[in-house]
Amino acid sequence: MKSGRVHAAALISMFFWGISYIWSKIVFETYSPLTTIFLRLTVSFGFLILVLYLGRQQEKIRREDYLLFVVSAALNPFLYFIGENFGLSMSSASLSAIIIATIPLFAPIAAWYAFKEKLKRVNLLGLVLSFAGLLVIILNKDFELTANPLGLMFLFLAVVSAVFYSILLKKLTDRYKPLTIITWQNMLGLLYFLPFFLIMDGKHFISVVPNFRTLGAIVLLGVFASSVSFILFTYTIKNLGIIKSNLYTNLIPIFTAVFSVIILGEDITFQKIIGIFIVISGVVLSESGKVIYARRQRNRNKSF
Protein backbone atom coordinates (compact mmCIF):
# COMPACT_ATOMS: atom_id res chain seq x y z
CA MET A 1 0.00 0.00 0.00
CA LYS A 2 2.78 2.42 0.92
CA SER A 3 4.67 1.57 -2.28
CA GLY A 4 1.57 2.46 -4.27
CA ARG A 5 1.28 5.82 -2.51
CA VAL A 6 4.93 6.61 -3.20
CA HIS A 7 4.66 5.90 -6.92
CA ALA A 8 1.37 7.79 -7.10
CA ALA A 9 3.03 10.80 -5.43
CA ALA A 10 5.85 10.69 -8.00
CA LEU A 11 3.43 10.49 -10.94
CA ILE A 12 1.27 13.34 -9.64
CA SER A 13 4.27 15.62 -9.09
CA MET A 14 5.56 14.89 -12.62
CA PHE A 15 2.08 15.59 -14.03
CA PHE A 16 1.90 19.00 -12.34
CA TRP A 17 5.46 19.92 -13.38
CA GLY A 18 4.75 18.81 -16.93
CA ILE A 19 1.54 20.80 -17.30
CA SER A 20 3.11 23.82 -15.55
CA TYR A 21 4.69 24.81 -18.90
CA ILE A 22 1.17 25.00 -20.36
CA TRP A 23 -0.09 27.09 -17.44
CA SER A 24 2.86 29.47 -17.88
CA LYS A 25 2.08 29.86 -21.59
CA ILE A 26 -1.50 30.78 -20.66
CA VAL A 27 -0.31 33.45 -18.21
CA PHE A 28 2.09 34.83 -20.86
CA GLU A 29 -0.99 35.81 -22.92
CA THR A 30 -1.68 38.49 -20.27
CA TYR A 31 1.53 39.07 -18.33
CA SER A 32 5.24 39.09 -19.08
CA PRO A 33 7.49 36.22 -17.89
CA LEU A 34 8.80 38.48 -15.09
CA THR A 35 5.32 39.21 -13.73
CA THR A 36 4.41 35.53 -14.10
CA ILE A 37 7.38 34.51 -11.98
CA PHE A 38 6.64 37.11 -9.31
CA LEU A 39 2.96 36.16 -9.01
CA ARG A 40 3.77 32.44 -9.02
CA LEU A 41 6.28 32.84 -6.19
CA THR A 42 3.88 35.06 -4.23
CA VAL A 43 1.13 32.43 -4.35
CA SER A 44 3.59 29.63 -3.54
CA PHE A 45 5.14 31.49 -0.61
CA GLY A 46 1.74 32.27 0.89
CA PHE A 47 0.63 28.68 0.51
CA LEU A 48 3.82 27.26 2.04
CA ILE A 49 3.70 29.67 5.00
CA LEU A 50 0.15 28.46 5.65
CA VAL A 51 1.29 24.82 5.51
CA LEU A 52 4.21 25.53 7.84
CA TYR A 53 2.07 27.17 10.50
CA LEU A 54 -0.85 24.76 10.28
CA GLY A 55 1.54 21.83 10.46
CA ARG A 56 3.66 23.50 13.15
CA GLN A 57 6.85 22.68 11.24
CA GLN A 58 8.68 25.97 11.67
CA GLU A 59 12.47 25.71 11.90
CA LYS A 60 14.87 28.42 12.96
CA ILE A 61 17.60 29.22 10.44
CA ARG A 62 21.11 29.23 11.89
CA ARG A 63 23.04 32.46 11.43
CA GLU A 64 25.96 30.64 9.80
CA ASP A 65 23.58 29.39 7.07
CA TYR A 66 22.25 32.82 6.05
CA LEU A 67 24.75 33.19 3.21
CA LEU A 68 24.01 29.66 1.98
CA PHE A 69 20.31 30.49 1.69
CA VAL A 70 21.01 33.83 0.01
CA VAL A 71 23.30 32.32 -2.65
CA SER A 72 21.15 29.25 -3.26
CA ALA A 73 18.03 31.41 -3.72
CA ALA A 74 19.95 33.53 -6.24
CA LEU A 75 20.44 30.36 -8.28
CA ASN A 76 16.95 28.96 -7.70
CA PRO A 77 14.35 30.44 -7.95
CA PHE A 78 15.93 33.69 -9.24
CA LEU A 79 18.24 32.69 -12.12
CA TYR A 80 16.47 29.40 -12.75
CA PHE A 81 13.05 31.01 -13.23
CA ILE A 82 14.53 33.80 -15.37
CA GLY A 83 16.04 31.19 -17.65
CA GLU A 84 13.02 28.88 -17.69
CA ASN A 85 10.29 31.51 -18.13
CA PHE A 86 12.03 33.79 -20.62
CA GLY A 87 13.19 30.72 -22.55
CA LEU A 88 9.65 29.32 -22.49
CA SER A 89 8.24 32.62 -23.78
CA MET A 90 10.51 32.30 -26.85
CA SER A 91 10.18 28.54 -27.39
CA SER A 92 7.53 25.86 -27.52
CA ALA A 93 6.40 24.25 -24.28
CA SER A 94 7.58 20.80 -25.38
CA LEU A 95 11.08 22.00 -26.36
CA SER A 96 11.43 23.90 -23.09
CA ALA A 97 10.44 20.84 -21.05
CA ILE A 98 12.86 18.52 -22.85
CA ILE A 99 15.81 20.91 -22.34
CA ILE A 100 15.01 21.31 -18.63
CA ALA A 101 14.78 17.50 -18.42
CA THR A 102 18.52 17.29 -19.17
CA ILE A 103 19.40 18.69 -15.72
CA PRO A 104 20.08 15.21 -14.22
CA LEU A 105 22.65 14.63 -16.99
CA PHE A 106 24.77 17.62 -15.96
CA ALA A 107 24.45 17.05 -12.20
CA PRO A 108 27.18 14.32 -12.11
CA ILE A 109 29.61 16.75 -13.78
CA ALA A 110 28.93 19.31 -11.05
CA ALA A 111 29.31 16.61 -8.39
CA TRP A 112 32.63 15.59 -9.94
CA TYR A 113 33.82 19.20 -9.84
CA ALA A 114 32.51 20.09 -6.36
CA PHE A 115 32.72 16.81 -4.46
CA LYS A 116 35.30 14.88 -6.54
CA GLU A 117 32.71 12.17 -7.17
CA LYS A 118 33.75 9.72 -9.87
CA LEU A 119 32.33 10.52 -13.31
CA LYS A 120 31.24 7.25 -14.91
CA ARG A 121 31.23 6.42 -18.62
CA VAL A 122 27.47 5.86 -18.60
CA ASN A 123 26.99 9.51 -17.54
CA LEU A 124 29.03 10.75 -20.51
CA LEU A 125 27.26 8.35 -22.88
CA GLY A 126 23.86 9.54 -21.65
CA LEU A 127 24.95 13.16 -22.09
CA VAL A 128 26.11 12.57 -25.68
CA LEU A 129 22.93 10.66 -26.56
CA SER A 130 20.64 13.34 -25.13
CA PHE A 131 22.58 16.12 -26.85
CA ALA A 132 22.13 14.26 -30.14
CA GLY A 133 18.39 14.11 -29.43
CA LEU A 134 18.30 17.86 -28.83
CA LEU A 135 19.98 18.45 -32.20
CA VAL A 136 17.29 16.32 -33.86
CA ILE A 137 14.62 18.55 -32.26
CA ILE A 138 16.12 22.00 -32.91
CA LEU A 139 17.65 21.42 -36.39
CA ASN A 140 15.75 20.89 -39.65
CA LYS A 141 16.76 18.61 -42.52
CA ASP A 142 19.13 21.32 -43.84
CA PHE A 143 20.79 21.55 -40.40
CA GLU A 144 19.35 25.01 -39.81
CA LEU A 145 18.29 26.08 -36.34
CA THR A 146 14.49 25.99 -35.97
CA ALA A 147 14.40 27.29 -32.39
CA ASN A 148 15.00 30.83 -31.15
CA PRO A 149 18.74 31.00 -30.22
CA LEU A 150 18.09 33.49 -27.40
CA GLY A 151 15.34 31.24 -26.05
CA LEU A 152 17.76 28.30 -26.04
CA MET A 153 20.34 30.39 -24.17
CA PHE A 154 17.79 31.27 -21.50
CA LEU A 155 16.74 27.62 -21.13
CA PHE A 156 20.33 26.48 -20.70
CA LEU A 157 20.80 29.27 -18.14
CA ALA A 158 18.04 27.50 -16.18
CA VAL A 159 19.84 24.17 -16.57
CA VAL A 160 23.19 25.55 -15.38
CA SER A 161 21.55 27.38 -12.46
CA ALA A 162 19.76 24.20 -11.36
CA VAL A 163 22.95 22.14 -11.55
CA PHE A 164 24.95 24.51 -9.33
CA TYR A 165 21.92 24.92 -7.07
CA SER A 166 21.94 21.16 -6.47
CA ILE A 167 25.42 21.47 -4.94
CA LEU A 168 24.20 23.97 -2.34
CA LEU A 169 20.92 22.12 -1.83
CA LYS A 170 22.85 19.02 -0.79
CA LYS A 171 24.31 20.99 2.12
CA LEU A 172 20.95 22.49 3.12
CA THR A 173 19.04 19.20 3.14
CA ASP A 174 21.46 17.85 5.74
CA ARG A 175 20.36 20.61 8.14
CA TYR A 176 16.75 21.56 7.33
CA LYS A 177 13.44 20.09 6.20
CA PRO A 178 12.64 20.52 2.48
CA LEU A 179 9.52 22.54 3.31
CA THR A 180 11.64 25.02 5.28
CA ILE A 181 14.19 25.30 2.47
CA ILE A 182 11.71 25.97 -0.34
CA THR A 183 9.70 28.45 1.79
CA TRP A 184 12.76 30.57 2.64
CA GLN A 185 14.13 30.38 -0.89
CA ASN A 186 10.80 31.49 -2.37
CA MET A 187 10.74 34.41 0.06
CA LEU A 188 14.27 35.43 -0.93
CA GLY A 189 13.37 34.92 -4.59
CA LEU A 190 10.47 37.35 -4.17
CA LEU A 191 12.85 39.94 -2.71
CA TYR A 192 15.24 39.46 -5.65
CA PHE A 193 12.46 39.85 -8.21
CA LEU A 194 10.62 42.72 -6.47
CA PRO A 195 12.73 45.68 -7.75
CA PHE A 196 12.79 44.30 -11.32
CA PHE A 197 9.04 43.69 -11.20
CA LEU A 198 8.28 47.22 -9.93
CA ILE A 199 10.61 48.98 -12.37
CA MET A 200 9.96 46.93 -15.51
CA ASP A 201 6.39 45.64 -15.14
CA GLY A 202 4.77 47.70 -12.37
CA LYS A 203 2.78 50.07 -14.61
CA HIS A 204 1.68 47.31 -16.97
CA PHE A 205 0.57 45.11 -14.06
CA ILE A 206 -1.63 47.86 -12.65
CA SER A 207 -3.21 48.67 -16.02
CA VAL A 208 -4.10 45.08 -16.95
CA VAL A 209 -7.30 43.36 -15.79
CA PRO A 210 -6.65 39.59 -15.94
CA ASN A 211 -9.39 37.15 -16.89
CA PHE A 212 -10.33 34.08 -14.86
CA ARG A 213 -8.26 31.82 -17.14
CA THR A 214 -5.10 33.77 -16.34
CA LEU A 215 -5.85 33.98 -12.60
CA GLY A 216 -6.58 30.27 -12.49
CA ALA A 217 -3.28 29.44 -14.21
CA ILE A 218 -1.36 31.63 -11.73
CA VAL A 219 -2.96 29.90 -8.74
CA LEU A 220 -2.31 26.47 -10.27
CA LEU A 221 1.35 27.39 -10.87
CA GLY A 222 1.85 28.68 -7.34
CA VAL A 223 -0.02 25.98 -5.43
CA PHE A 224 0.56 22.83 -7.48
CA ALA A 225 3.70 23.40 -9.59
CA SER A 226 5.74 25.35 -7.01
CA SER A 227 4.41 23.84 -3.77
CA VAL A 228 2.43 20.58 -3.86
CA SER A 229 4.70 18.97 -6.48
CA PHE A 230 7.78 19.76 -4.42
CA ILE A 231 6.23 18.27 -1.27
CA LEU A 232 5.15 15.11 -3.14
CA PHE A 233 8.53 14.69 -4.81
CA THR A 234 10.29 15.14 -1.48
CA TYR A 235 8.08 12.33 -0.12
CA THR A 236 9.13 10.24 -3.13
CA ILE A 237 12.84 10.90 -2.56
CA LYS A 238 12.49 9.98 1.10
CA ASN A 239 11.06 6.55 0.19
CA LEU A 240 12.75 5.74 -3.13
CA GLY A 241 16.00 7.69 -2.92
CA ILE A 242 17.29 10.42 -5.24
CA ILE A 243 18.46 8.15 -8.07
CA LYS A 244 15.24 6.16 -8.53
CA SER A 245 13.10 9.26 -8.01
CA ASN A 246 14.94 11.14 -10.75
CA LEU A 247 13.90 8.44 -13.24
CA TYR A 248 10.36 9.77 -12.94
CA THR A 249 11.44 13.21 -14.18
CA ASN A 250 11.63 11.75 -17.68
CA LEU A 251 7.82 11.81 -17.72
CA ILE A 252 7.74 15.63 -17.52
CA PRO A 253 8.43 16.34 -21.25
CA ILE A 254 5.95 13.60 -22.21
CA PHE A 255 3.18 15.22 -20.17
CA THR A 256 4.15 18.62 -21.56
CA ALA A 257 4.15 17.41 -25.18
CA VAL A 258 0.71 15.81 -24.80
CA PHE A 259 -0.93 18.81 -23.14
CA SER A 260 0.78 21.32 -25.44
CA VAL A 261 -1.08 19.62 -28.31
CA ILE A 262 -4.41 19.33 -26.45
CA ILE A 263 -4.49 22.77 -24.81
CA LEU A 264 -2.15 25.01 -26.83
CA GLY A 265 -2.54 23.35 -30.22
CA GLU A 266 1.22 22.97 -30.76
CA ASP A 267 2.41 20.81 -33.64
CA ILE A 268 4.32 17.69 -32.64
CA THR A 269 6.15 16.40 -35.69
CA PHE A 270 7.55 12.91 -36.11
CA GLN A 271 11.06 14.40 -35.97
CA LYS A 272 10.29 16.03 -32.62
CA ILE A 273 8.88 12.75 -31.25
CA ILE A 274 12.07 10.93 -32.28
CA GLY A 275 14.19 13.65 -30.69
CA ILE A 276 12.23 13.52 -27.43
CA PHE A 277 12.64 9.73 -27.36
CA ILE A 278 16.42 10.01 -27.87
CA VAL A 279 16.82 12.67 -25.16
CA ILE A 280 14.77 10.69 -22.65
CA SER A 281 16.70 7.52 -23.52
CA GLY A 282 19.94 9.33 -22.71
CA VAL A 283 18.64 10.50 -19.34
CA VAL A 284 17.24 7.02 -18.52
CA LEU A 285 20.56 5.44 -19.50
CA SER A 286 22.47 7.78 -17.22
CA GLU A 287 20.08 7.40 -14.27
CA SER A 288 19.80 3.61 -14.69
CA GLY A 289 23.58 3.41 -14.66
CA LYS A 290 23.55 5.16 -11.29
CA VAL A 291 21.04 2.64 -9.94
CA ILE A 292 23.19 -0.30 -11.08
CA TYR A 293 26.35 1.32 -9.70
CA ALA A 294 24.71 2.01 -6.32
CA ARG A 295 23.44 -1.61 -6.15
CA ARG A 296 26.91 -2.98 -6.88
CA GLN A 297 28.39 -0.76 -4.19
CA ARG A 298 25.88 -2.08 -1.64
CA ASN A 299 26.59 -5.69 -2.59
CA ARG A 300 30.32 -5.03 -2.39
CA ASN A 301 29.97 -3.54 1.09
CA LYS A 302 27.90 -6.51 2.23
CA SER A 303 30.59 -8.93 1.03
CA PHE A 304 33.09 -7.21 3.34
pLDDT of residue 293: 52
Would you state the pLDDT for residue 217?
Answer: 97
Q: What is the pLDDT of residue 296?
A: 57
pLDDT of residue 105: 74
Q: What string of pLDDT tens digits covers the 304 residues of the chain?
A: 567 888 888 899 999 999 999 999 999 999 999 999 999 999 999 999 999 888 777 788 999 999 999 999 999 999 999 999 999 999 999 889 988 888 877 766 766 666 666 667 776 787 778 778 878 877 776 666 778 999 999 999 999 998 888 778 778 877 888 888 889 999 999 999 999 999 999 999 999 999 999 999 999 999 999 999 988 887 887 777 666 777 787 788 888 988 999 999 988 788 888 888 888 887 777 766 655 555 555 555 555 4
Q: Which residues pair with 145 in a beta bridge?
A: 139
Angstrom CA distances, 38 to 27, 32, 198, 216, 285, stand at: 12, 10, 10, 15, 36
Please give the Cα distance from 58 to 222 (Å, whole number): 20
- Ramachandran angles phi, psi of 231, nearest 5°: -65, -45
Residues 252 and 21: their CA atoms lie apart, in Å, by 10
* pLDDT in the model for residue 130: 77
Q: What is the per-residue pLDDT for 117?
A: 61
What is the pTM assigned to this prediction?
0.85
**8 A C-beta contact, residue 76 and residue 161:** yes
Say if CB 293 and CB 126 are below 8 A apart: no
Residue 67 confidence (pLDDT): 95
User: Contact, 276 vs 137, CB < 8 A?
Assistant: yes
Neighbours of 124 (CB within 10 A): 14
pLDDT score for 233: 84
How many of the other CB atoms lie within 10 Å of CB of 5? 12
